[in-house]
């Protein structure tokens, strides 16, 4: 059993998060994703952020805690995960600026647009699950398995992102080892969405891929309400 599940806690971005077997344990690599998003959102106010596959809520809670003008929506398919994410939002006193929806990726947020979409989706190829360490295999398979090549969720996130981004908005995703180039290439056939950058983790591995939407306005922005 992973130590974090035994203690029920894990530190992330300097904050203490409640964790349980229903959610993936937050990892230091994911802090690279949060730091990249914070950097890109400097000077943007107000800020509306969408977190797809929120799990424990570590990403969205950390973002909103560091962005006083931010509001966010967090989506997860697991009601157990959402309950943990809500408790973490309450613990860090950002619950009034967050809304949690159960659903499949973008399905609950039709009609909304965002300044940033962020996700650490499942990215382990299905056949590689059995090669993971025994401790990691005790984490929820829903948060690990990314389809035959590990890219299933990236395809959906990138291919649908244009409809949910404000002009000039961006998508930032964490990726697994050797996946960055393949994920970056997903924007090649997406008019209006372009590859922006890759960011390495502390081990020199390309860990974050960012895509940006054109500044051209194609539709009126919808208004996000977190009431």
Q: Specify the number of domains making up the chain.
A: 1
Q: What is the per-residue DSSP string for 142-207?
A: GGTB--TTS-HHHHHHHHHGGGGEEEEEEEEEE--TT-HHHHHGGGGG-TTEEEEEEEE-TTS-EE
Question: Average pLDDT in the 179-187 region?
Answer: 96
Q: For residue 226, is it within any domain? A: no
**What's the distance, CA 104 to chain centroid?**
13
Burial 53-81 (b: 16+ CB within 10 A, else e): bbbbbbbbbbbbbbbeebbbbbbbebeeb
Compute the mean pLDDT over every residue in the chain, rounded to the nearest whole number.
Answer: 90
Q: Which pLDDT band holds residue 198 (cuts at 50, 70, 90)?
A: very high
Domain with 46 in it: 3-213
Q: For residue 175, is it within any domain? A: yes
Triad 141, 142, 145: Cα angle to 5° = 70
Q: For residue 131, is it within any domain? A: yes
Condensed to tens digits (0 to 9), the pLDDT of residues 36-52 reads 999 999 999 999 999 99
Q: Is the pLDDT confidence value at 130 over 60? A: yes
CATH number, domain containing residue 73 = 3.40.50.150
For residue 223, what pLDDT is reported? 36
Question: Average pLDDT in the 57-74 region?
Answer: 98
């Amino acid at each position: 059993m992973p130590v974090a599940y035994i203690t029920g806690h894990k530190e992330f971005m300097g904050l203490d998060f409640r964790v349980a077997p229903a959610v993936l344990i937050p990892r230091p690599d994911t802090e690279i994703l949060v730091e990249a998003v914070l950097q890109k959102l400097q000077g943007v106010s107000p800020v509306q952020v969408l977190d797809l596959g929120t799990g424990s809520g570590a990403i969205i809670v950390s973002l909103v805690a560091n962005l006083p003008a931010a509001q966010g929506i967090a989506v997860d398919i697991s009601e157990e995960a959402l309950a943990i994410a809500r408790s973490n939002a309450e613990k860090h006193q950002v619950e009034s600026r967050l809304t949690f929806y159960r659903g499949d990726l973008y399905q609950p947020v039709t009609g909304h647009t965002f300044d940033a979409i962020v996700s650490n989706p499942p990215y382990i190829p299905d056949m590689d699950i059995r090669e993971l360490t025994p401790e990691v295999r005790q984490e929820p398979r829903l948060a690990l398995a990314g389809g035959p090549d590990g890219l299933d969720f990236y395809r959906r996130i990138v291919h649908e992102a244009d409809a949910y981004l404000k002009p000039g908005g961006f998508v930032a995703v964490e990726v697994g080892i050797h996946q960055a180039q393949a994920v970056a290439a997903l924007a090649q056939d997406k008019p209006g969405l372009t590859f922006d950058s890759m960011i390495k983790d502390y081990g020199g591995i390309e860990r974050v891929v960012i895509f940006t939407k054109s500044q051209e306005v194609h539709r009126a922005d919808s208004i996000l309400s977190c009431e």
